[in-house]
Amino acid sequence: MKTNHYNLQTDRRKFLKGFTFTLGGTLLGMPLLSHSMDQHIGNLAYEAGTSQTGSQQKKKMGIALVGLGQYSTNELAPALQETQHCYLAGVVTGTPSKAEAWKKKYNIPDKNIYSYDTFDQIANNKDIDIVYVVLPNAMHAEYTIRAARAKKHVICEKPMATTLEDAQRMLDACRENGVQLAIGYRLHFEPFHQRVMELGQKQVYGKVKQIEARNSSDMTDGSLDVWRLNKQLAGGGSLMDLGIYCVQGAIYTMGKPPVAVTARYGEVTKPNYFHSVEQSINWQMEFADGVKAECNTSYADEENLLSAKAEKGWWRLSPAYAYEGKKGETHEGKIDLPNIYEQVRQMDGQAHSFMKNQPSIVPGEMGLRDMRVLMAIYESANAGGKRVEIRYGG
């Protein structure tokens, strides 16, 4: 049975309300890198499961979904029926039939439905506080910047952009307009991955010695006409879409970004699918203390792993990245944590930070940092495996 995110069942379990997993009261702070200097935004807490009722209840923040593809349809919109701090207030789509269907299904007022041409009018809509950009990667920059100019907070799906220049423009636009930018990194809000952060960063089993991360999903049993196989829209292939989870996993295991990478493209076995983007890529991330993360991603395979070895033990998540069905173990036994409705926890956490005018635990600076890593991986692979040092400043 496939566990990848292109073949998920849409019948979802109810979100485990009231479940709180905060690693001693807070989510572990992550080293974040801005456009000019390294910044550490640590100990930003979001205590999931807390709520208020009656007159004490805070106003829910209205979210407009931009792009009504599979992820919005099957994951985000249903999740927004369960959230406590935000709700589905509007949509942006270029397809009139979708607009009508969503209007009826979710009782969305006509005034909260926009096309891409009328999108900028969202600035005048007090119902909408947050714009969630769920478009092909190459469109992230345009709609993040337009949303920022409309004075709306932004959640942007990963990867943040397709170029470093676009990622920087997105950050600049949000800063200039006084709005927050968060990236759709749902796993920072998820119990199994929070446990990995704790094990690695708090050195529960001693210092991390080695990391392995693999994330692959077979794209060769479907249509050739999908945007993820179009470099102009996707910016790349499996690395941009799936490999970014491996980059993220290694970084939050260590609690710091890599200093260098080496990478090589895998063999192309399905050239009819992969003439525009890479089919697979293998890379090694090198950290300042000598720890190395061995990573792999492919659009023609099925793998789903995040594991690490430390001085006094080991841990492993597999499946690690799919929306449901996560399993984990350490050398001491099973990691006994619940599988939650991740998009509920993610959007509630992001809305909560926006309400408090605090940076998200997954801010735009983190997205830019990861773009630097992704671009270095491509640079190394294009150079036949040359070691590439990563520079995070300026």
- Domains for the chain: give ranges and CATH numbers: 58-187+346-362 (3.40.50.720), 191-339+371-389 (3.30.360.10)
Backbone angles phi, psi at 185, to 5 degrees: -85, 85
Structure token digits, residue 192: 């199994």
Give the model's pLDDT for residue 177: 98
Choice among 114, 132, 185, 245 that is catalytic: 245
Cα separation, 388 vs 380, in Å, equals 6
The pLDDT assigned to 225 comes to 87
Confirm if 33 and 392 have CB atoms less than 8 A apart: yes
Question: Hey, what are 19's tokens?
Answer: 């479940």
pTM: 0.87
Contacts of 223 (CB under 8 A, 6+ apart): none
Cis geometry, peptide bond prior to residue 96 (ω within 30 degrees of 0): no
**Which residues on adjacent β-strands are paired with residue 42?**
none
Tokens 């990573």 sit at which residue?
Answer: 295
Is residue 248 within 8 A of residue 362, CB to CB? The reply is no
Kindly name the residue from 71, 143, 152, 158 that is annotated as catalytic.
158
270 is catalytic: no
For the question of residue 158 being annotated catalytic, the response is: yes
What is the pLDDT, as a whole number, of residue 337?
97
pLDDT recorded at residue 142: 98
* Predicted pLDDT of residue 151: 98
> How high is the mean pLDDT in each 10-residue block of the chain (394 residues)?
36 34 33 30 30 46 98 98 98 97 98 98 98 98 98 98 98 98 98 98 98 97 91 97 98 98 97 96 97 98 98 98 96 97 98 95 98 98 98 80
Q: What was the pLDDT predicted at 14?
A: 36
Helix residue ranges per DSSP H, 229-314: 231-234, 238, 244-254
Give the pLDDT score at 394: 54
| CA dihedral for 245, 76, 35, 166, sign (positive or negative) | positive
CA distance 316 to 234: 30
Residues present in the chain in total: 394
Among 76, 57, 54, residue whose Cα is nearest residue 65:
76
pLDDT of residue 8: 35
Q: Amino acid letter at 167?
A: A
CB 127 within 8 A of CB 64: no
Question: What confidence score (pLDDT) does residue 38 get?
Answer: 29
The pair of structure tokens assigned to 350 is 């992001």
Reference 85, options 335, 342, 347; nearest CA is 347
Please give the C-alpha separations between residue 359 and each of 46, 182, 379, 391, in angstroms, as whole numbers. Answer: 11, 8, 31, 23
| Chain centroid to CA 143 | 17
